[in-house]
Amino acid sequence: MLAGAIRLATGHAGGANCGCDARKNKMNRWGWLGCWRRRDLIAAWLADEAKRRGHEIKGGDALALLRAAFWQLREGARDGK
């Protein structure tokens, strides 16, 4: 969910050297609740990777993206998607 939101917002998928797949797999193991509990860590990952790619975002912006992804996931679950 989050990977798709990032790709949609930025037009970029994870690269070979970013560790994105490992982080995505880790978040999949945590599940949505585990990710929510670790949202500050995930937001820091997003901000660090964005900076590495030449984009300056603040942790609060990354948290807003996470919240939007979680709400979309929640609505999809409620709608049976």
Kindly state the helix (H) or strand (E) to which residue 12 belongs, with its residue range: none
Q: Is residue 14 part of a domain?
A: no
Q: Structural domain tally of the chain?
A: 1
How much is the pLDDT for 62?
74
Task: Give the pLDDT confidence score for residue 29 in this predicted structure.
Answer: 93
Give me the domain span that covers residue 39: 31-81
Read off the pLDDT of residues 20-58 as tens digits, 9 standing for 90 and up: 788 888 988 998 889 889 988 988 888 887 777 777 776
**Confidence tier at 5 by pLDDT (50, 70, 90):** low
Asked if the structure places residue 22 within a domain, the reply is no
What is the percent of the chain where pLDDT is above 90?
7
- pLDDT for the residue numbered 37: 92
**Where do the H-state alpha helices sit in the chain?**
2-10, 20-37, 39-52, 59-78
In a domain, 41, yes or no: yes
| AA identity, residue 19 | G
